[in-house]
Amino acid sequence: MAHTKQTLLERRYSLLGLLLIAPTVLVFCAVIVYPLISAIYLSLFSIYTPTLDGEWVGLQNYATLLAKGEFWYSLRTNLIWTVGTLSLQIVFGIGMALVLHQNIWFRSLARSLILFPYFISTVVAVLVWKWLFNDLYGILNHLMMGAGLIEFPIDYLGSMPNAMVSVILVGAWKYFPFVVIAVLARLQTIPGQLYEAARIDGAGPIARFFDVTLPQLREVLVVIVMLRAIWDFKEFDLIFLLTGGGPVTSTQTLPLLVYKEAFSLNQMGMATAYAVIMMLIMLVFMVLYIRRTRTEDGL
């Protein structure tokens, strides 16, 4: 008797469970699975964007893009941008978090100020940076010439490698606060006695950073790198607004290429094929990355 009662209860529970997750599953399907599948579907057509008329071409789009030099060049640009800006974000982020973790008198003010670049809208930020960088009236050139560091104004955005360096730096400036906040939160949970034990064991400040702090930050860094890598890889507005992919195509990353295909060249099918390839690349990277960090943790 008790047995059947229990299974009834169990069944009620699992029904309740289904009901509770159903809305999430439905929303997930509507906003993620459907667009994903329709993107893959669209990538099999040749579509003229304004009319959305198209004909079935099968894998032709993929064959074309993989054979195109522009794809590989943009992929390379994309990787340079992602690796460059991400490493700067991590280095500055950790550095700034360490500074803000100290007992300095302006700590709470600094902690709120540090979030400023992260809060500010990309459009506004890019506009300000473009003024700063401007080769005719930019304050950066003005100051550097005034200080005698340079003789002629530097073209920060219109020549290479300056444009790439500038984009990477602005990206790092905009997104390092995220790293600061995440790392700072973790730093505050590291037991102080670990540092004291290390001091007694004869570890100096640098050894304490590498032997106590960094290992404790490992897990949070894994997450930060993963999130930031995804976001940076598909970053569009910052680069688009700052250089528009130029000079010529020197800073044209894959998202910019997708935009160009879809709305300048009006090749929606081609554009979705790029987008699908981008997704696959990120997927491969993430799987490798998660594998690696997991085996390193391996207990």
Partner 1 sequence: MADVIFSDVQKRFGSFVAVQNLNLDIRQGEFVSLLGPSGCGKTTTLRMLAGLEFPTSGEIRIGERVVNDVAPGDRDIAMVFQSYALYPHMSVGQNIAYPLKKRRVPKAERARMVARTAEMLQLTALLDRKPKQLSGGQQQRVALGRALVRDPKVFLLDEPLSNLDAKLRGYMRAELVELHQRLGRTMVYVTHDQLEAMTMSDRIAIMEGGALQQFAPPQEVYRAPANRFVAGFIGTPGMNLIDGALARDGNTWRFEAPALQLEARGLGPDARPGEACLGIRPEALTLGSGALRGVVQLVEQTGHENIVVLRVGEDLRLTGRAPGHTIWKPGETIPFAIDADAAHYFAAGPAGARLNARRSGPHESGDAISITNNMREAHQ
∠ CA(93), CA(94), CA(97), 5° rounding? 85
d(CA 279, CA 271): 12
Q: Which member of 24, 112, 193, 295 binds partner 1 (CB under 8 A)? A: 193
d(CA 177, CA 184): 10
With contacts defined by CB under 8 A, name the span among 46-54, 143-151, 175-183, 208-216 that binds partner 1: 208-216
| 70/201 with CB nearer partner 1 | 201
Whether 155 contacts 135, CB under 8 Å:
yes
d(CA 61, CA 40): 11
Residues 160-189 that bind partner 1 (CB under 8 A): none
Residues 35-94 that bind partner 1 (CB under 8 A): none
* Distance, CA of 152 to chain centre: 35
Strands 45-48 and 53-56: antiparallel
- Minimum CB separation of residue 140 from partner 1 in Å reads 43
The angle, 0 to 180 degrees and rounded to 10, between the axes of the packed helices 162-187 and 214-233 is 140
Q: Which member of 44, 167, 212, 238 binds partner 1 (CB under 8 A)? A: 212
SS3 53: strand
- Minimum CB separation of residue 17 from partner 1 in Å reads 32
Q: How many CB atoms lie within 10 A of CB 248?
A: 8
Q: Which member of 160, 207, 283, 290 binds partner 1 (CB under 8 A)? A: 207
Kindly determine how many residues on this chain lie close enough to bind partner 1 according to the rule CB under 8 A.
Answer: 19
- Minimum CB separation of residue 99 from partner 1 in Å reads 23
| 225/281 with CB nearer partner 1 | 225
Q: Which member of 111, 130, 199, 234 binds partner 1 (CB under 8 A)? A: 199
SS3 265: coil
Contact between 196 and partner 1 per CB under 8 A: yes
* Stretch 215-234: interaction string toward partner 1, x if CB under 8 A: xx-x----------------
Q: Whose CA is closest to 249, among 174, 160, 162, 189?
A: 160
- Minimum CB separation of residue 102 from partner 1 in Å reads 17
With contacts defined by CB under 8 A, name the span among 25-33, 54-62, 207-215, 233-241 that binds partner 1: 207-215
With contacts defined by CB under 8 A, name the span among 34-42, 53-61, 166-174, 205-213 that binds partner 1: 205-213
SS3 47: strand
C-alpha to C-alpha distances, 198 to 46, 161, 186, 190, nearest whole angstrom: 64, 44, 19, 13
With contacts defined by CB under 8 A, name the span among 128-136, 196-204, 246-254, 262-270 that binds partner 1: 196-204
Q: Which member of 124, 200, 206, 248 binds partner 1 (CB under 8 A)? A: 200
The two structure tokens encoding residue 66: 């993989």
d(CA 274, CA 258): 6
- Minimum CB separation of residue 104 from partner 1 in Å reads 19
Whether 102 contacts 88, CB under 8 Å:
no
With contacts defined by CB under 8 A, name the span among 34-42, 107-115, 118-126, 213-221 that binds partner 1: 213-221
The residues of the shown chain that bind partner 1, judged by CB under 8 A, are 191, 193-194, 196-204, 207, 211-212, 215-216, 218, 299
